[in-house]
Structure 1
Amino acid sequence: MSQDRYICLRCGYTYDPKRGDAKAGISPGTPGDKLPGDWHCPACGAAQRDFAKRDD
């Protein structure tokens, strides 16, 4: 299971699969490539296409 983190290119929010996104009902441990298609950045509302894998 991928534990890659993804950063929003619009606002800098980082999706961390170890934390998930409780407000959107995304459980901890959910990899970024398994997020529901309608999931958006919780900080600015950007679409998933506006995210990139973090290198760190």
Structure 2
Amino acid sequence: MAVYVCGVCGWEYDEAAGYEEGGIAPGTKWEDLPDDFECPLCGVGKDQFEAK
């Protein structure tokens, strides 16, 4: 499982942990997130994240 980091604010999405506050179950892979997923802290899109 990978971790993706927002290039703007540094928020991290950990595939193993998911993002339960946003309705994303643990184990959800980055590519399986909706295309309109946004960083919960700063609102940028998936294209602003990089694999850690």
* TM norm. shorter chain > 0.5: yes
Unaligned runs of 5+ in 2: none
Uncovered stretches (5+) of structure 1, i.e. residues with no partner: none
The residue number in structure 1 matching 2:17 is 19
CA RMSD of aligned residues (A): 0.8
Q: Partner letter of residue 45 of structure 1?
A: G
Query: Match of 2:47, SS?
Result: helix
TM-score, normalisation: structure 1: 0.84
Aligned residues: 52
3-state secondary structure, aligned to 2:25 = coil
Greater strand content: 2
